[in-house]
Every structure is written in C-alpha cells, then in structure tokens.
Amino acid sequence: MIPGFGFRKKFSDLSEKEILALAISSEEDDAAIYRNYAEHLKNDYPDTSKIFHDMARVEDSHRKLLLDTFKKRFGDNIPLIRRDHVSGFYNRKPVWLMKNLSIDRIRLESEMMERDAYNFYMKAAQMSTDASTRKLLGDLAAAEAGHTVAADNLIEKHAAGDTKEIEARTAKRQFILTWVQPGLAGLMDGSVSTLAPIFATAFATQDTWTTFVVGLAASVGAGISMGLTEAVSDDGVISGRGSPVKRGLACGIMTAVGGLGHALPYLIPHFWTATILAMIIVFFELWAIVWIQNKYMEAPFLRATLQVVVGGGLVLAAGILIGTG
C-alpha cells in the first residue's frame, strides 16, 4: 500500500484555483532548491552557480505571474496545497541535503526538475477553461522547456556528454520510474510480508504441502493487491512514471515472486530440507533487494541493510516464534 494515498487528491480532480495554488508553491520550492544548488557550487563551479542563481530568479518571476493571475481570479486567500497532497504528482527527492553532492548529480536533478515542471504546466493548461490562465500556463510550459535545454547544455558542457548520453540518461530514468521502482516495492513487500505467515505455518504444522499452499495464497493475494494499488495510485501523466498498467504488472509480479521464492521449497516433502532451503533463499532475496536499492535507488548501503535485512530478519523470527508457540 502507498502511505497516505487515501488522503491525497487526484490531479484530475483539482479545481483551477487549486492548480494555480499548487503551481505557486511548486515554483517557490524549485527556486529555493536552485539557490541551494548555487550556494553548494559557488566555490568550485562559479559559472554553474551563476546559472542556478539565474534559474532561481526565473522561478521567482514565474511565481509572481502566477500570484497576479490568482489574485485577479480568486482573491488573496491562497489554499495550502503542495506536491505531496496530490496523488501522482512528481516529488523532489531532498538530494540538496546530501553533504557530498556531486555536480553531475546536481545537473541531472535540475534536468529532471525542468522536465517534470514542463509536464505539469502542459497538463494544467489542458485542464484550464479560462483563456488568460490557459495562456499563462502554456507560456510557463514553454519556459520550462527552455530550462530543460539549458540543463541539457550544462550536462554536455561539464560532463563531456553528447545527445546520445542525455537520451540514455533519460531512458534510464524512465526505466527506473516505470519498472524498477514499482518492481522493487513489490519485491520488498512480497519477500518480507509473506515471511511470517509462511514460516509460522511451517513450524506450526511441519507439513510441507500445507505450508506451500499458504505461501502460494499469500503471494498471489499480495501480488494482486499491490499491483492494483500501484496501477490506480498514479496515472503517470504528471509524475512521468509511465504507464500504470506496466507499473502495476511490475509491482504485482515482483510481489508474487518475492513470496513464492521461499514458498516453492516446500514442494519438497522433507520438512527440514525444505525449511533450510527456504531460509537460504530468504537470505539471498533480502541481500538482492539491498543491492537493487543501493544501485538503482541510490539508497545508502547501511540504511538499506537495516531496513531490509534486519527488518526481514525480525519478521522471519516473529513467524518462527508464532509457529513454535
């Protein structure tokens, strides 16, 4: 399940007043992020730092235009609505808080920020029924597209990249958003959440077939639930995460795979042989998840280990204790 999903509003359900308020808060956030990047780079990369200062000032000008339009149409009271209040809306990872933030990572993040903003303004313009507001949102989309080109140029200039490299980075990001993130979420859920029922059944009954049936039911049920939840949580239009069908399939299949990995050994009729093999598989499953998180999600290795291996070990121990109790 996605935390807080039930308390977020779909982008398609936002009123024009809420869309403008969301745009204002997003521009405020992005300007602050660019200033943080500029401050971080001012000593080692002063030219790039100046570019980020300029981009921050442009975001400020966008915010002013949005504020003026909002006041003309709706008055001075701006509703509090931010990115995390909207289902399927893109989020900014707080990479600016990292102590050793590389210039390559900053440039890549800025490129992603501008692409996300462009997608938002294009979709928002399509939803607007007021001519002046629609024109403003369209103009802002064009401006964000220009920023995207500037971000691409930064990457080319400082990272010795070319168009193919930029396209490869974009394709990699899309692959991660559409397949890796949902698949990893499913694999984690399936691998960890099914540990307790499978091993509790195993040690309570010491019957391998019963354990396998329980594991199969738990894995398939979890896969269907996670897949549907992922698919309906975000249509991918604003967040850029891609087809909800693809994400749902990735999440659902990997959830089932995560559970079946340690359920299949119980097709072996000998209890202890099946159980030892299942535990070995669990060990490799959990470390595989840590590796994927570290490689694709850039999660710190120690944090991923604590979250996945230690957390999974506790769930496994709980299942065994319940089964033997």
Class of 8-161 per CATH? mainly alpha
Please tell me the chain's helix, strand, coil percentages from 3-state DSSP, rounded to the nearest 5: 80, 0, 20
Angle among Cα 104, 107, 112 to the nearest 5 degrees reads 125
Question: pTM here?
Answer: 0.66
Stretch(es) of the chain classified as CATH 1.20.1260.10: 8-161
Residue 267 CA: distances (Å) to CA of 191, 206, 210, 259, 275: 18, 13, 10, 14, 11
pLDDT recorded at residue 176: 82
Select from 87, 251, 91 the least CA-distant residue to 179.
251
Select from 121, 173, 124 the least CA-distant residue to 147.
121
pLDDT recorded at residue 29: 93
Average pLDDT of the chain, as a whole number = 86
pLDDT class of 74 with cuts at 50, 70, 90: very high
Q: How far is CA 4 from the centre of its chain?
A: 14
Question: What does DSSP say about strands 9-10 and 86-87: parallel, antiparallel, or unpaired?
Answer: parallel
pLDDT class of 48 with cuts at 50, 70, 90: confident
Tokens of 209: 């077939």
Q: What are the pLDDT digits (tens) for 180-233? A: 889 989 999 999 999 999 999 999 999 999 999 999 999 999 999 999 999 888
